[in-house]
Structure 1
């Protein structure tokens, strides 16, 4: 009986030690219908934009990047009104591991069916469904995020860097719960992985 109690105590301790990355969690709900926004069309600049991810586990954390593939934003009277962008999941990489072998193993695992199944789902997409301009100068962006074969609507706040008829730039920092998109791999029993992933997005679009 003591051994059984000890086993469950250790297991509970392992679970409790898995903390999520710092960051506000995006509000998540079922996907909603997308409307048609009107205004100036700006092309997303993949070279000037970036997505940085961070995930934690009991023994540490890993971080890396994913490239944007393409996209289009709609700006009306100098304010963001809609748009979408596509993410190239094949570019998912790790930035903190220096050993090529371990770096390669992690990237291969993240692209496998345990995580993002990149061979089956080579791209992800975010489609804006609503933009609210807040009193604090930020914007609340809601949109349908598609990862793997699941689509959920998320809302997060973003800081506007520039917003005009010829250029839009903004940055956001938020967490999503990967399990909402069916990414349910728990990790090793003694090295569990946090449910939430932190995303830092710098988005630039130009005329």
Structure 2
């Protein structure tokens, strides 16, 4: 049940007056602890709304369901404090107010803050990617695959043999090299059918590894969107995939972030139509009366690429 109309919206000036007139007012910063420690409103205490224990934390801070509580979050673009208010009202609290515009509005109103504004500015949700050349870390990177038929599915991994990326502004170029000899199955691990499946995948029915031991994805024109939300892809990779001796254009969306160690982390999830690369075993587009040999055309692919600056 939603409780959008069950709490008051107050301005920074109204909150300032309330703090002066009501010494017992409980002011709650609903953001994560690292943000609170960097910067917060004077007199505020922290209870992060993203924590599963948020309501329990408030219960510990205040057992009086009628006590005056004011919640604030980040800005008018975030639902943090409103979500917190809904949770508390659902738990029985009745005197809840929310600071309009959060800490951003308070700051814009010229009202005092405690903490380090420079440190707080570094806690951005925007993608911050450093220009330069990066080399794929083979031990840390891999491809996860899932193949399916009408009755079951199999999944496993394939390893990279190398690769590189170059970032410059909003562009990303590079290549990924795949070791097709490294195909492994996970779901049949230890079963006698495990090796049967691997042998079949490496045969000319599928990836013909004896003749085509590697695959390559060349990316001459990738685009980065550094303003993307942190939970959606911020990168489009456009290039040519050379697989089983055939080349076809491939466009995929990916998420690229940079860790504190400077390494680039690229991840992507997509469906690959294997038949475009001549892998047609079990495909109803090419064969009839397949029965138990039917294999769906699409393979689910998850890329996890870690690259170090070179």
Q: Give TM-score scaled by structure 2 length.
A: 0.51
Give the structure with the larger strand fraction: 1
1:6-21 residue pairs with structure 2 within 5 A?
none
User: Match for residue 126 of structure 1?
Assistant: 217
Structure-2 residue corresponding to 1:149 = 245
Which position in structure 1 is the counterpart of 2:186? Answer: 95
| Residues 163/74 of structure 1: CA separation in 2 closer, same or farther (3 Å cut) | farther
Asked if structure 1 preserves the Cα contact closer than 8 Å seen for 2:269 and 2:302, the reply is yes
Gaps of at least 5 residues in structure 1 are: 1-38
Inter-partner Cα distance in structure 1 for 2:189 and 2:303: 24
Asked if 1:205 corresponds to 2:301, the answer is no
1:181 is aligned, of 274, 277, 286, to: 277
Q: How far apart are the structure 2 equivalents of 1:131 and 1:83?
A: 9
4+ runs deviating over 6 angstroms: none
1:23-172 to 2 correspondences below 5 Å: 40-77=132-169, 81-134=172-225, 136-137=228-229, 138-162=234-258, 166-172=262-268
CA contact (8 A) 1:73 1:80 kept: no
Q: Which has the higher helix share?
A: 2
**Kept in 2: contact 1:179–1:195 (CA 8 A):** yes
Aligned length: 168
Shift of 1:94: 0.5
CA RMSD of aligned residues (A): 2.1
Larger RCO (CA within 8 A; separation ≥ 6):
1
In structure 2, what is the Cα distance between the partners aligned to 1:105 and 1:167?
38
Residues 56-84 of structure 1: CA distance to partner in whole angstroms, max 9, x if unpaired? 1011000000000011111224x552111
Gaps of 5+ in 2: 1-130, 284-289
